[in-house]
Structure formats: C-alpha cells, structure tokens
Amino acid sequence: MANITKKVSWSSRGDESGGGERTPLLNGSEEVRYTRQLSGDGGMFHIGRLSTVDLEEDMTSDEDAGCPKEIPHNEKLLSLKYESLDYDNSENQLFLEEERRMSFLGFKCLEISRWVICGLIGFLTGLIACCIDIAVENLAGVKYFVVKQNIEKFTEVGGLSISLILWAVLNAAFVMVGAVIVAFFEPGAAGSGIPQIKCYLNGVKIPRVVRLKTLVVKVCGVICSVAGGLAVGKEGPMIHSGAVVAAGVSQGRSTSLKKDFKIFEYFRRDTEKRDFVSAGAAAGVSAAFGAPVGGVLFSLEEGASFWNQMLTWRIFFASMISTFTLNFFLSIYNKKPGDLSSPGLINFGRFESDSVAYNLYEIPLFIVMGAAGGLLGALFNILNYWLTIFRIRYVHRPCLQVMEAMLVAAVTATVSFAMIYFSNDCQPLGPDQSEDYPLQLFCADGEYNSMATAFFNTPERSVRSLFHNPPGSYNPLTLSLFTLTYFFLACWTYGLTVSAGVFIPSLLIGAAWGRLFGILLASITPDGSIWADPGKYALIGAAAQLGGIVRMTLSLTVIMVEATGNVTYGLPIMLVLLTAKIVGDYFVEGLYDIHIKLQSVPFLHLEAPATSHWLTAREVMSAPVTCFNRIEKVGTIVDVLSNTSTNHNGFPVVVPVAASDDMGKVCGLILRSQLIVLLKHKVFVELARSRLTQRKLQLKDFRDAYPRFPPIQSIHVSQDERECMMDLTEFMNPTPYTVPQDTSLPRVFKLFRALGLRHLVVVDSENRVVGLVTRKDLARYHLGKHGLEEMQLAQT
C-alpha cells in the first residue's frame, strides 16, 4: 500500500518543516489536492496541501519564525509552521554517558534545584501579580477619581457631555498605550495567552510565546487595558506571565538580555522546560484566583500527558508560594501585614457559610442555569468567531488594530456613561457602603446610582458587588440592561490587540444574569424568603457563563470553589459547569479551542476520535521518509536540511539492507537540531582523524545552542567538507519508539500522547522504515458532524 521509494526522497507532506516553502503565490491559495484510497473499509479522503504563503515573512530559524501577520481563516486547516517540543529525551550515547557518570548525590542536587526553581517561579509570579494589582488599583483609582470629580462638578451646572469626553479620552489613552506596545513590539502578548499556553503545554512550540519581551509587554499591556476600562480581566494574562517566568528562570539565562548565569544548565531541553512551564502556568492561576489546587489541576488538565507525582508536587509548591507571595505583599501594601485574606487577584469574598447553603430542590434550577450559561456561552463564542474572522481579513495592520482598540475603549466609556445617565435606579447610601466611587448623579442626597456600581468600577469589584451586595441593591431592569450591554462589549473586546483576559468579563455577565434570575425567582414564588439570597444565584450564573465560554471542567470547578472559599458549593458548581459544557459543546467549541483552531495549531486532544479504530499507522503516517545512514555524507545532510519544506525535523537513521532497493532497517533517530550542531562544530570523520586534539562534542554544546538553533543557511560548509562523512552513531537516539504498520490509530495516538513524542517511526515486520508519524498526522483526524473528518495541512 505505502509506496516506498528511495532512501533520500521528498515527503509529499511537509510536516514538522523547519521553515516555509517560499513559492510566490498571489494572495489567496492554490490547492493541490489529491486523493487516495484507504485500505480499510473507509471511502475516499481528501488530503490537501494548501499553500498560502505570507510573502512578507522571513523565517530564518526555528524559534525566530515570528508571529504571522495573517493567519488562515479556515479552521479546517492545520498549519505546518508549528513544531513540536521534544518531550521525549533523545537517549543518545552522550546523554547516557552523562547520566551514568552522575552520582546519586548528583541526582539529589538536581532534584533540589528543581524545587528551588519552582519556589522562585512561584515567588516571581506572585510578585508580578502583586505589581499588576497595585498598578491597576492606582491607575484606575486616579482615573475614577478624576472622572467622578468631573461628573459631580458638571451634574449641577449641566454639560455632562464634557465628563463623557473626559472619560472616553482617558480610557482611549490608556488603551492606546496598551495596544501600541502589543501591536508594534510583541504581537504574541495579545489576548489572554491561555490558548498559547494550552498549545505549549500540549507540546506545540509556539514562536516567541515564552520570551522575556513578551512578559514585559504582557504585564504593561494588561495594566493599561484594565485601567483603560475595557471589559477585560487581568487574570488570564497571569497564566501566561507565570509560564514565561518559568521558562526564563529554569534556563538560568536570558537570550534576549544575552545574560547567562551558568546555572541550571541541565534543564536546557524541552522535557525539563515544559515541566517548569506547567509549574509556571499553575502559579499564574494560583495568583490570579488564589487557587493553588485549581492551578495544579489546570496545568494537569491542559498539559500533563504523563502523571508524575514529584512533578505535580513541585507544581503545587510553586502554586502555593505564588499565592502566598501575592497575599503577603498585598497585605503589606494594604497596611495590614499578616492579613492573609486576599490570596488572589480576584477574590469572590466570603460566602456566608450558612448551614443550609442550598436545598436539594434548587439543584434542577442550577442545572437550568447551567444550560442557559451554555447557550449564552455558545452565542458569545459564535459572535466572537465571526468577529475574529473579520479581524483576520480586514484588521491585520498594527495601526488599524490600535485604532480598533481605542474605538472599543471609547465606546465602552460612552455606553457605560449612557447607561448610568439614563438609569434611575437610586439606592440609599448606607453606612457600611462598600463602593469606592459611589456616583450620586441625579439621585437624591444620600443615595447613589446603582447602575454605576456595575459600570463605574473595575470589573473585579463589580463581580464582588453582585455576589455580596444585600438583596435589593439592584433592580431587575438595571441588571438586564447591564447584562445585555456587557455581553456585547466583552464579546467585541476579546480578540483585540491588547493583553487581556476573558475570565472576569464572563464572570461579570454571568453574575449579572444570575442575580437577575435570583431576583425574579424570589418575586414569582409565593414564599420568596427561601430564595432570599440573590448572591448565590449570581455565583451560579457566573460559573455557568464562564463554563459556557471556556468549557473548562475539573480545574474550573476547583478554581471557583477555592475562590469562594466554600466547599459546600462544589456540587452545584460542578453540575452547572458540566451542563454548560454539554449544552455549549452541542453548538460550538470553547473560546480557547476556537482561537487555537483559527491559528491552525496541530493540537492533540486527549484521545483519538472514538470511531478511528479502522485507521492504521499505515494510513496515518507520512511516507516516504527522509532517512540517513549511520555514516552519511555531509553534502547529503546539508542538502536535506536546506530543503526545509520536505522533512520532519527528525530523520530515522538506517542500516541499509544488502542487495535490496528497500528502506534500511531502523537503528536510530536524529533530530534536525542535533545535525545543525554537528555541522556547526564540523564533527566530520575525516577531521577527527586529522586533528587528534579536537575536543569531543559534549552535551553542553547542544545545550548552549538550545533553544535557538541557527538556521542551516548560516552554517558555511565548503565544497571539500561536503565530501566528508559524518558518523551519527554517537548522537542519534539509538532506541526510538517504533510501531508496526498495522497498529490502529488509537493505539498509535495513545503511545504518542502518553510519552509526548515528536516522531514515531513506523516499521514493517523486518524492522524497515516505512513511515513516520508526527503530531500533524494525528491531529488531522477529528470527529465532525458527519463522523471522522480529516483536516488539511497548510504551509502557513
């Protein structure tokens, strides 16, 4: 079936390709389709190759590929530009020698270093969260103070339009700063960063996602966008920030700052780095929501393919340190040192631990709310999906992006102002007033405008008000209007070129309609008193809405429970999230998954599609494969590496079978990055003979080059050197995982996913290479409306 050709041959599909094939094409796409008959009982499959190449982009090296300005807007594509992480150690001779040389004490030291690093990650993440919180508090405080003064001044004399303009201009100014740094300096810092971190933890190398520059832009950006009054939260970006901190700290150097501390050199490989990044992401969640366990579960849910107890425990340590650090510094900032009551950026406040938190007969109501959350979440996601496609097509220039962000900021201020202006929901200003900026506006003295509590405030405070303000603080009309406007504002805002999260807006929308639901319930039931607490419904609504949008499950339940500090609400929150997920999934995927798909990232789900047992490795694999001999000519290697569109960044090393035209028997696997280092150091057989003193290549040389291996173009190989030979034996992984070609797709998938592989060699019964399975080969298959569907691979 599989057509096996010569040893060095070009793959028909450029999976795991190092760069882009630069075929000059007009804007648009030229599809080269061909069909093939599968050997199973399946029908015809379309396997496409779609070349939409961004001409402006110059992909020079693996990591420096940069963020594409244009992303394909067809989510049925898988981009070939993403590479996988090498989570599987290449156990070559150098590696084994190092491991064997290391004493038990050495391993102990490494283990201690890992703990120290995790502690540092937690500490720094907590510190960053603290800085963001304080900066936002102060900036937003100044802004609201100025606007409030202005409104008060003009309420009496008339001319509130001036206040509106002031508010809008202040917002737009903040947002402009935030958008400019993101759009012009580091587009990778846009959005919440959660989709990117999900992909990274899944094993996809997203370019520039864990750079120092991204962190700086992210932190400044999120401060600006929250202070700018956008319908965004500062929680999502914390997860990204934590991940960047982890990637930086664990490597003991900064490539951007050109500073190498010469520590933690052992951890300079993808396996270790990815583990630390999971700790960082967990620390970020922990700092954002005061939810250390939720953070661990988030990391595991998104990232871990293989459960490792020590790793999990370290992740938990980082999370704990992170929330503790934040709490500690905030307590000092709030002049109550030692008061450990604000463990996260958002605190839901204490829910009265009434012994009767909820009744059994309320559970169906909660489930109905979950379904509503699922529906509203699906609507949100569909609207945002259309908007994103629109943005991809028409708003891809940085200046346009900045202008759109400023427009949204101004519109947000205007809408908020209008809502407050036309609302006549006045509430008495009690003595235990928790509002920071109560707006009197047209209310009587001693009263304040209730609509302003929701709009004239940072979203975190608004959520807390909706959860905890006593019954009667809001009238139903205020809440309905607020829900409606905030829903569309939040939907418009997500995907702007600013650094911002979607957690808090979702919670806020949900809390608003949840509270509305509670108020209506109390008014229509004869004995309203038992439904007395609308805050409870606000909490359930918030969970439902957030679940409907992001579709996280276990981790979100735990995060919500930890944020409320009340274990009793666990069951209703879980049921609500589950319902929201089921209902929402019926219509459309979760928001993060939509954005991942729109980026055409080859994301591996946890299991192969259920109905894929009839596919085998033979059908799934890429064939023919470029292979090398144990001792290979330098020229051949250089040629293969230069032709970036036609290899998988990993090459089986084979022993030729005598008197046969077939592929050789597999005896190892070598990575593109390893070959690059070998070429750079000119590890040629002939040179080794002539220069006896030549230093033997060590693992350190590979580590120093990690993670930004130079492109093949930058390595000069003379014509003479091209005739030399390279001995790959010592550097290849001599025991790559292999599967027979009859292995079913789910089995291949399980092996691949469980071990976090990058390349899986498919062999025949004689141990000869017949194909190679990479991430894209597996990610292509997904369950669509009409059963199993196959996605197409695109060059961009």
Which residues from 335-364 bind its own copies, rule CB under 8 A?
336, 338-341, 343, 350, 353, 355-360
Beta bridge partners of 36: 45
Q: Give me the least distance between CB of 765 and its own copies, in Å please.
A: 6
- What is the nearest approach in angstroms of its own copies to the Cβ of residue 437? 25
Q: Does 54 bind its own copies (CB under 8 A)?
A: no
Query: Which residues lie closer than 8 Å to 110 by C-beta, 6 or more apart?
Result: 266
Among 183, 563, 119, 78, CA closest to 405: 183
Region near its own copies per CB under 8 A, out of 65-73, 180-188, 571-579, 625-633: 571-579
Minimal distance in Å, beta carbon 626 to its own copies? 21
Question: Which residue lies nearer to its own copies by CB, 95 or 442?
Answer: 95
Does 739 bind its own copies (CB under 8 A)? Our answer is yes
Residue 586 is a binding residue for its own copies (CB under 8 A): no
Q: Is residue 599 close enough to count as binding its own copies by CB under 8 A?
A: no
Distant-in-sequence, close-in-space partners of 595: CB < 8 Å, separation ≥ 6 = 191, 195, 388, 495
Q: What DSSP string runs through 29-76? A: -EEEEEEEE-SSS--EEEEEEEE---TT----SSGGG---SS--S-TT
Judged by beta carbon, residue 115 or residue 154, the one nearer its own copies is 115
Among 306, 386, 390, 394, binds its own copies (CB under 8 A): 306
- Report yes or no: 91 and 733 within 8 Å, Cβ to Cβ: yes
Is 384 a binder of its own copies (CB under 8 A)?
no
Residue pair 409/169 in contact by the 8 Å Cβ criterion: no
State the nearest-atom distance from the C-beta of 366 to its own copies, in Å: 13
Residue with tokens 């040179």: 687
Q: Residue 562 interacts with its own copies (CB under 8 A)?
A: yes
Smallest separation, CB 737 to its own copies (Å): 7
617-636 binders of its own copies (CB under 8 A): none
- Residues from 641 through 680 that contact its own copies (CB under 8 A): 655, 665, 667
* Residue among 418, 444, 606, 631 that touches its own copies (CB under 8 A): 606
Tokens encoding 438: 């109560």
- Within 525-554, the residues that bind its own copies by CB under 8 A are 553-554
- Residue 477 or residue 606: which is nearer to its own copies going by CB? 606
Residue type (1 letter), 62? D
Nearest to 412 by CA among 420, 422, 401: 420
Name residue 5's amino acid: T
> Smallest distance, Å, CB 93 to its own copies?
10
**Contacts (CB under 8 A) with its own copies, residues 67-96:** 89, 91, 96
Under rule CB under 8 A, residue 557 binds its own copies = yes
Nearest alpha-carbon partner for 738 in 3, 275, 88: 88
The binding track of 715-734 with respect to its own copies, each residue x by CB under 8 A or -, is: -------------------x
Beta pairing, strands 204-205 & 725-727: unpaired
Token look-up 């230093």 returns: 695
CB atoms inside a 10 Å sphere around CB 394: 10
**Total residues interacting with its own copies, rule: CB under 8 A:** 91
Q: Which is nearer to its own copies, 146 or 340 (CB)?
A: 340
Nearer to its own copies, 355 or 719 (CB): 355
Footprint on residues 310-339 left by its own copies (CB under 8 A): 310, 312-313, 316-317, 320-321, 323-324, 328, 336, 338-339
Told to check if 751 binds its own copies by CB under 8 A, we report: yes
| Cα separation, 175 vs 225, whole angstroms | 5
Q: Which of 290, 295, 370, 518 binds its own copies (CB under 8 A)?
A: 290
C-beta of 296 vs 728, nearer to its own copies: 296
Our finding on whether 698 is near its own copies (CB under 8 A) is: no
Distance, in Å, from the CA atom of 555 to the CA atom of 634, rounded to the nearest integer, reads: 50
Residue identified by tokens 């760069």 is 19
Which listed residue (41, 527, 661, 720) binds its own copies by CB under 8 A?
A: 41
What are the residues facing 760 on neighbouring strands? 773
CA–CA gap between residue 306 and residue 286 (Å, rounded): 22
3-state secondary structure at position 37: strand
* Closer residue to its own copies, CB minimum distance, 139 or 363: 363
3 state SS of 665: strand
The three-state DSSP-derived secondary structure of 126-187 is HHHHHHHHHHHHHHHHHHHHHHHHHHHHHHHHCCHHHHHHHHHHHHHHHHHHHHHHHHHHCH
- Per CB under 8 A, which of residues 101..130 are in contact with its own copies? 102-104, 107
Out of 444, 610, 631, 685, the residue judged to bind its own copies by CB under 8 A: 610
Bridge partners, residue 269, by sequence: none
C-beta of residue 242 within 8 angstroms of C-beta of residue 287: yes
Residues 777-796 that bind its own copies (CB under 8 A): 783, 787
